[in-house]
Structure 1
Amino acid sequence: MEAEAAKFIGAGLASLALIGAGLGIGNIFGSYLQGALRNPSAAPGQFANLLLGFALAEATGLFGLVVALIILFVF
């Protein structure tokens, strides 16, 4: 019974990475939008950086989700 509770606690702690991913993605897009509104001519040149930052932030969240699912269903 204690092992089952420990699995749920561990999965919950691992899923905290999703909070960081959400904050990171919001920060990335907010900063891009703020910069694009200040200098619209430079916005297309920074679009590739926007997508790279989004992908890296989202990957962190997905890794946390995968770890949480592994804890729940493998152990």
Structure 2
Amino acid sequence: MDPAAGRFIGAGLAAIGTGAAAIGVGLIFGNFLLGALRNPTASDGQFGRVFIGVALAEGLGIFALLVAILLLFVVK
């Protein structure tokens, strides 16, 4: 296999993490909304934890994107 082809395949596999992060953010907000509709009084206490979870999920997505970009442009 050509090393350039391996870089593209590796970058594509690393970029899957960005899509997984988007799915994770959707699940976090969906479950928060489900819980807030069931118990509206407890939603104020959980709102800060939702943003922590979203920040962690987005951080992992950005990290996966960074790895994909490094594989494309830095690794020779």
Under a length normalisation based on structure 1, what TM-score does the superposition of the two structures give? 0.93
2:32 is equivalent to residue 41 of structure 1: no
Paired position in structure 2 for 1:24: 24
Q: Which moved more, 1:57-66 or 1:1-10?
A: 1-10
Q: Does the alignment pair 1:72 with 2:55?
A: no
2:67 maps to 1:52:
no
Structure 2 unaligned segments of length 5 or more: list them. none
Which structure 1 segments of 5+ residues have no match? Answer: none
C-alpha displacement of 1:47: 0.6
1:24 & 1:45 partners in 2: Cα distance?
Answer: 21
- Structure 1 residue 19 displacement after superposition: 2.2
| CA RMSD in angstroms, aligned pairs only | 1.2
Name the aligned partner's letter for residue 18 of structure 2.
Answer: L
Tell me the alpha carbon deviations over residues 14-58 of structure 1, each in whole angstroms, 9 at most, x when there is no partner: 011112211111110000000111111111110110000001111
Percent identical among aligned pairs is 52
Q: Distance in 2 between matches of 1:12 and 1:20?
A: 13
Aligned residues: 75
**In the aligned structure 2, how far is the partner of 1:35 from the partner of 1:70?**
39
